[in-house]
Amino acid sequence: MSHRIDETAVLKAASEWAERTGRNTETVSSTAQDVMVRLKSKLTASEYQGALKQLHGQYKRDNVS
């Protein structure tokens, strides 16, 4: 079963990643929001959905730069 990843899920994953890695949660969440705003402004709805899934996956894998 596939579920749609939305901005709330990305922010939650970012917050959890920050906690796991000892980063500042507010800074990480703000950065994630900025990234999503930039992506949303330049991608189609379908492309944006794919980008959200990718971003969510990066935070879940601890693979964020």
Residue 47: inside a domain: yes
Predicted confidence at residue 4, as pLDDT, reads 84
Residues of the domain holding 17? 7-60
Distances in Å between the Cα of 26 and the Cα atoms of 6, 39, 53, 54, 57 are: 19, 20, 21, 21, 20
Average pLDDT of the segment spanning 35-42:
97
Residue 2: inside a domain: no
Residue 1: inside a domain: no
Question: What DSSP state is assigned to residue 22?
Answer: T
Residue 44: inside a domain: yes
Residue 16: inside a domain: yes
Residue 65: inside a domain: no
Smallest Cα–Cα separation from 56: which of 10, 17, 11? 10
Domain count, the chain: 1
Rounded Cα distance, 9 and 54, in Å: 12
Percent of the chain's residues with pLDDT above 70: 92
Residue 36: inside a domain: yes
Distances in Å between the Cα of 4 and the Cα atoms of 10, 25, 26, 56 are: 11, 24, 24, 11
Q: How many residues does the chain have?
A: 65
